[in-house]
Amino acid sequence: MKVLFSIFCFVSLINYSFSQSKWTGNRTPTYSELIDHLKSVSKNHSEVELYALGSSDYGLPIYVCIVNGSQDSLRTFEKARNETTILINNAIHPGEPDGINACLIWLDKWIANGKKVDNLPVIAFIPAYNVGGMINRSSTSRANQNGPDEYGFRGNARNLDLNRDFIKMDSENAFTFCNIFRALEPDVFVDNHVSNGADYQYTLTYISQMKERMAPSLRNLVYGTMLPEMTKNLRSKKWGLFPYVELKGETPDEGIYAFNDLPRYAMGYAGLFNSISFTVETHMLKPFPERVQATLAFMEELIDWTKNNANRIEQSRKNANNWVQDQSWFRFNYELSEERDSINFKGYEHSFPVNEITGLKRLLYDRTKPYQKMIPYFNKYIPTDSVRIPDYYIVGCQEKEVIRRLEMNHIKFRKIQKDSLIDVQSFVVTSFKSSDRPYEGHFKHKEMNYELINFKYKLKAGDIIIPTKQNSAMFIHSVLQPKAEDSYFSWNFFDSYLQEKEYFSNYVFIDKIQEILDSDAKLKEEYIRKKSEDESFRNSEWQQLYFIYSKSNYFEPSFMRLPVYQLISSKIKN
């Protein structure tokens, strides 16, 4: 027995030191090394579970690794939903793999320290989200980054930036993420990255949710307690934690601003479901092993804080879910205010010497001249749009891609059983602009405007009706309100409604206009006025006929009318 015990100790000691050295150097594992390693860890330790929860565009699966689940494939997800859970996403940008190594080191340490679970939250991490990007390895695609020796590429197998894909869901990866996210319903979410941009002293920076978009209970918890306490604790461990350095101008002297975490981003998406979310951004110019330790320090501090404040987190999320359902207005399209605060910043002096090759001035940070000073901090956003929240939305059953996305996001709705007529408000688009170059596979729309028309809608069997009083209401408004910055309309889901399908021949239609004008006195008056005021109109047969056509019964009602409707009244039969 004694012999057996010492052999066991010997084996675990060897395991620990081996694993320690394996992930702390300047190397990050390949996809297959990573998954093979986690398979073997989960095989040897039943407390560590590994699940393939869906595919990626590359074809290989996306895994989630769960520590402190219930060690039962079905009950683990139930446990995660019911108890406090942290979800960490790695390698959405595989050129920024710090989180992969940090999670592996954390796992090794947890095992070596005896797999303690007292008050530990459920810890879930996606080891490799962008599988295709991870397989596309090189040592050159991050031109400004200090290690590791090899790493993956930002674009996925279809060259999509997955950190813009959480609403439009063009990738299979996004569907798998949705599956993982909704199965776990994490209380806290972290997306691990490496920075671009300025040089400064910090290794560890973070993005937290735009405070104006958050429910008050979560805003108070995160900005009032969580971030100040985590910053203090990390500082005591020699890790200065600082907001992500998003520059207002060319250098930090002109100030930095808070990031607008739109729903298209991982953390913005998670925030719509009242998950407390962060993006960790380690500094690209610090060596990889140091960045990994910084990511690990954030992770450990986050786990500790969550462990010690689980009840407050749960209560604040509950209050946030109630708050979301109580709202009568949805505010969106936030713009950065010019109002400035200031923040104590540890940077480096800079100068603009002339570069010999270009013959032009270049920016040069001087690491031998560190400074600490107050710089401007723009951290206030103002909503530029708001709408009164309807009781229900209706989406036409023909919009299968939209309905599929709502279903994947666990949005509660019911299907209409039989055809009937119903009074709704209909969005009729009056103007919009489209980008002239593709952005993430889309000619995305912006500056959308519409008129809200009272309309008798012919509800079809299969159409879906979505109550807005549900915990995911912020997600629902963000995708269905046409003017919202990441709406399905903006992401081109409804483009087919923006084009007329029928036209007329002038020589035929001209014989009808007398009858049309005679039957509509108001139209006749408008026509006569326009003809007298507008010279180009007066001289164009087409313009005159189209004017009458577009206001007559011959005009197609589907043109510019979105297949999304809203119901203000809560009285719904059917």
Applying CB under 5 A, the residues found at the interface with Zn ion are: 93, 96, 193
93 vs 164 by CB, closer to Zn ion: 93
- Least distance (Å) between residue 297 CB and Zn ion: 19
Q: Provide the minimum distance between the beta carbon of 191 and Zn ion in the complex, in angstroms, as a whole number.
A: 8
Residue type, position 3, single letter: V
Position 147: which residue type? G
* CA-CA-CA-CA torsion sign (61, 67, 73, 76): negative
Tell me how far apart the alpha carbons of residues 191 and 103 are, in angstroms, rounded to a whole number. 12
Our CB check for Zn ion shows the closer of 93 and 445 to be: 93
Q: Which residue has the tokens 């009808």?
A: 512
Strand partners, 564: 395
Residue from 154, 347, 354, 165 nearest 247 by CA: 347
Please, what sign has the CA dihedral across residues 30, 109, 240, 190? positive
**Residue 181 burial (C-beta neighbours within 10 Å; 0-12, 13-18, 19+):** buried
- Which pairing describes strands 445-459 and 420-434: parallel, antiparallel, or unpaired? antiparallel
CA distance 456 to 221: 45
Q: What's the Cα-to-Cα distance from 326 to each of 210, 274, 339, 468, 469, rounded to whole Å?
A: 20, 14, 30, 10, 8
Of 390, 400, 365, 179, nearest to 284 by C-alpha is: 365
Shortest separation between residue 93's beta carbon and Zn ion, angstroms: 4
- Closer to Zn ion by CB, 49 or 246: give it: 246
Smallest separation (angstroms) from Zn ion to the CB of 96: 5
State the nearest-atom distance from the C-beta of 164 to Zn ion, in Å. Answer: 11
Residue 419 CA from chain centroid, whole number: 36
Distance in Å, CB of 476 to Zn ion, minimum: 28
Residue (91 or 416) nearer to Zn ion, CB: 91
- Which of residues 79 and 93 has its CB atom nearest to Zn ion in the complex? 93
Least Å from the CB of residue 130 to Zn ion: 10
Residue 204 CB contacts under 8 Å (≥ 6 apart), including other chains: 234, 239, 240, 241, 242, 280, 282, 283, 294, 295, 297, 298
Q: How far is the CB of 361 from Zn ion (least distance, A)?
A: 29
CB of 92 to Zn ion, least distance (A): 7
> What is the nearest approach in angstroms of Zn ion to the Cβ of residue 243?
16
Considering the complex, state which of residue 92 and residue 183 has its C-beta at the smaller distance from Zn ion: 92
Note the helical H segments in 113-162.
Answer: 131-135
CA dist 106 → 22, 437, 468 (Å):
12, 43, 40
**Beta strand spans in 289-361 (E):** 329-336, 341-351
- Give the residue with the Cβ less far from Zn ion, 155 or 390: 155
Looking at the Cβ atoms of 128 and 473, the one nearer to Zn ion is: 128
Give the nearer residue to Zn ion in terms of CB position, either 62 or 466: 62
Q: Count of CB atoms within 10 A of residue 156's CB?
A: 30
Phi (first) and psi of residue 96, to 5 degrees = -120, 70
Q: Which is nearer to Zn ion, 439 or 503 (CB)?
A: 439
CA distance 477 to 444: 18
Nearest Cα to 127, choosing from 154, 153, 104, 161?
A: 104
Q: How many residues does the chain have?
A: 574
Q: Nearer to Zn ion by C-beta: 115 or 158?
A: 158
Q: Give whichever of 93 and 444 is closer to Zn ion, judged by the CB atom.
A: 93
Cis peptide before 289 (omega within 30 of 0): no
